Amino acid sequence: MALAHDAPKDSFRLSMLIYDTRYRAVTIQVFVLILVAAFFAWLLNNTIENLAIRGKEFNYGFLWQRAGYDIGQQLIPYTNDSTHFRALLVGLLNTLAVAALGCIFATILGVLIGVLRLSKNWLVSRLMTVYVEMFRNVPVLLWILLAYVILSEVTPSPRDFKAAEGVEPAASMVLGGTVAITNRGTNIPAPMVDHPLGGFEIGGIPVNFTVLAFISVIVASFWANARILTAARLKQEATGDRPTTWWKSLLVLFVPVIALSLALGLHWDIPALAGFNFKGGILVAHSFTALLVALTLYTSAFIAEIVRAGILAISKGQSEAAFALGLRPGRTMQLVILPQALRVIIPPLISQYLNITKNTSLGIAVSYLDLRGTLGGISLNQTGRELECMLLMMAIYLTLSLTISTLMNFYNKSVQLKVR
């Protein structure tokens, strides 16, 4: 045994890198790494040289130049005097708006359909099968276009809302005269405050104190409510006596928001017909609605299948045991099956969320100015910086996707089976 350890250490020769099995694997890996690095260096060098031949240099300076074009939907203040970077932010927020709402709606709808597809009711389960097969087997681009065409062709034009003398207008506003649906978009009331708290900008990124105040108050309310419920649960577990919480919850959830609204003078700006279009309120363009609806319906079909698979993965004994304990089917699903199924559901769900985020770039088909439309569309065209814009856009989508999967992986860890 001792002899085996006494290999000579001081006689390392260069040829051992190839002939000695201890080093060979490392040698090969280092060599391949150099080759790969050299290949990418060549690609980069080639690109830069070819750009130089065409008199172009790789430069992101254009981001700080005046954009000069207008954007229909903007969640932060933007005019054509703003920079291309600001246009990028507007586009990015438009992307995030569709992606976030799409993920929420698709999850709700998907879980509902997935559960209903397992229903014992023959009609319900067949209808859900038809839904799933219909939506997931047609390209999402077609659903987007269909939704857009339906929205813009069947809705009245703004002029139909005009009341002529003695003639009823051909169309009228809905929801108590606060919402107008025209062939251009949906005009909804806008929240306005009399005493805004102002804001500032960090490096072109605007921060609005009014919005921040509302968000922090709402988050704090929910957190406080969660604390109240936890305290109640702990007391129930300790004493078997659950304290009344409903009025505390209502108080904590609503009073701070109402107080803040009163303090800031919140009121609603209701859209009204003026000239060619409705003025005031917020215009939710049909491109946004169509994209959101189509992505939601399409992705919910996939989520439904994921949910169904997750539920079927739970052993039948679990539900039988729950029934034996006297739980009704709804409560069984809610308390026993779904919490366990989540472990199977979450990982594939992450990739569906990533799909929604990436599919928002299909908004170009209905002229929705998301990141692809501003940075990768108009800014790219007006400045002629294809490479810079495309690389930046890819980096942004990559960051978005990685952020979403990181967050979801944290959530996944929290619902996984804990081995104690």
Partner 1 sequence: MKTTYLLGAIAAATMVAGAASAQATLEAVKARGELICGSNTGLTGFGAPDANGNWAGFDVDLCRAVAAAVLGDATKVKFVPTTGETRFTALQSGEVDVLIRNSTWTASRDSELALDFVAVNYYDGQGFMVKKDLGVSSAKELDGATVCIQTGTTTELNLADFFKQNNITYQPVTIADDAEGQRQYLAGACDAYTTDASGLAASRATLPDAENHIILPEIISKEPLGPVVRHGDNNWGDIVRWTYYSLLIAEEKGITKANVEEVAASTNDEEVKRLLGLSGEMAVKFGLDNDAFKRAILAGGNYGEIFAANIGEGTSINLARGLNALWTQGGLQYAPPFR
Binding site for partner 1 (CB under 8 A): 34-35, 38, 41-42, 45-46, 49-50, 53-56, 68-72, 80, 152-153, 157, 183-184, 274-277, 279, 283, 286, 367, 369, 373, 377-378, 381-384, 386
293 CB contacts (<8 Å, ≥6 apart)? Answer: 147
Q: How far is the CB of 178 from partner 1 (least distance, A)?
A: 20
403 CB contacts (<8 Å, ≥6 apart)? Answer: none
Residue 20 or 386: the one with the smaller Cβ distance to partner 1 is 386
Residue 152 or 355: the one with the smaller Cβ distance to partner 1 is 152
Residue 270 or 346: the one with the smaller Cβ distance to partner 1 is 270
Other Cβ atoms less than 10 A from the Cβ of 146: the count is: 14
Name the token pair of 114.
């997935």
Residue 23 or 69: the one with the smaller Cβ distance to partner 1 is 69
Q: Beta-strand (E) ranges in 280-340?
A: 282-285
User: How far is 165 from 368, CA to CA, in rounded Å?
Assistant: 38
Phi, psi of 214 (to 5 degrees): -65, -45
Q: How far is the CB of 193 from partner 1 (least distance, A)?
A: 22
Residue 56 or 248: the one with the smaller Cβ distance to partner 1 is 56
180 in Cβ contact with 187 (< 8 Å): yes
Q: How far is the CB of 276 from partner 1 (least distance, A)?
A: 4
Q: How far is the CB of 382 from partner 1 (least distance, A)?
A: 7
Residue 224 or 365: the one with the smaller Cβ distance to partner 1 is 365
Name the token pair of 226.
């969660």
Q: How far is the CB of 10 from partner 1 (least distance, A)?
A: 27
Q: How far is the CB of 377 from partner 1 (least distance, A)?
A: 6
Residue 41 or 255: the one with the smaller Cβ distance to partner 1 is 41
229 in Cβ contact with 252 (< 8 Å): no
Q: How far is the CB of 359 from partner 1 (least distance, A)?
A: 19
267 in Cβ contact with 194 (< 8 Å): yes
Phi, psi of 291 (to 5 degrees): -65, -45
Cα–Cα distances in Å, from 373 out to 22, 151, 293, 309, 358?
54, 21, 19, 37, 13
- 325 three-state secondary structure: coil
